[in-house]
Structure 1
């Protein structure tokens, strides 16, 4: 039995090594009220990470590294063709969330428009399974 829940002792014929298992346990954020309501882990924590990373403008807040957040906000109000926006959105989404070690791939993008709003739906393959996300740009 391990002394800590995040480590596991692995024995082989020639040596003994220590394998570290990272936990994704984090605070559960209620995006509607702005409150913290307990904890989440696993795939729910990844869903929350994706939503929060995509809604946080990159380079705006000193508390975050340069790798955290997205540059989707930079597309708003730009006078560029729809084709260019449709090509940039998947790239910016993948770039924003791919820094997390729990995310293996981002794929199957679908871009749709309703009025002035642009919606991107995509799949995120994680270490715990695949999730579908939608973001309003």
Structure 2
């Protein structure tokens, strides 16, 4: 795993809503090389919160309405921020809004508990804590 995406904490509490949806599945993703993970020539499959981490990473990386392969609800809208002059608090507020819109389309995600930003020079780190039907995930992007 890279330092940019150290997915660290997972709660493993499962509740009754897991019965309403099939087990969430996604192919494992190498965040360092930005490619699928293969084992013996086959893609590795993840389930539950581990699969949701991959889905969230890919959704946050994909510009909404940019690719015909995805529905109009999938991805994030960051292009409107390019060249737009706004204060830091306004920018973070808008980023929280588009991150929430991006992630909350997934029915396996119950809530976003917090989104916090930390500036590091030209880079902004974002910490997202969310609740899923499987428990909870903390993500740093």
Q: Give the 5 Å matches for 1:61-80.
A: 61-80=67-86
Q: Which segments of 5 or more consecutive residues in structure 2 lack a partner in the other structure?
A: 1-18, 39-43
Relative to structure 1, is the Cα distance of residues 71 and 109 closer, same or farther in structure 2, using a 3 angstrom cutoff?
A: same
User: Is the strand fraction higher in 1 or 2?
Assistant: 1
* Equivalent residue pairs, number: 117
1:20 CA displacement: 6.1
Out of 78, 86, 89, the position equivalent to 1:83 is 89
Relative to structure 1, is the Cα distance of residues 40 and 84 closer, same or farther in structure 2, using a 3 angstrom cutoff?
A: same
1:66 CA displacement: 0.4
Is 1:109 aligned to 2:115, yes or no? yes
Q: How many Å separate the matches in 1 of 2:125 and 2:20?
A: 38
Which residue of the partner structure matches residue 66 of structure 2? 60
Please identify the structure whose Cα radius of gyration is greater.
Answer: 1
**Alpha carbons 2:26, 2:54 under 8 Å: kept:** no
Is 1:94 aligned to 2:91, yes or no? no
Q: Which has the higher contact order (CA 8 A, sep 6+)?
A: 2
**Alpha carbons 1:54, 1:72 under 8 Å: kept:** no
1:94 CA displacement: 0.7
After TM superposition, the score normalised by the length of structure 2 is: 0.75
**Superposed CA RMSD:** 1.7
Give the 4+ runs in structure 1 shifted more than 3 A.
none
Q: Which segments of 5 or more consecutive residues in structure 1 lack a partner in the other structure?
A: 1-18
Q: How many Å separate the matches in 1 of 2:113 and 2:71?
A: 25
After TM superposition, the score normalised by the length of structure 1 is: 0.78
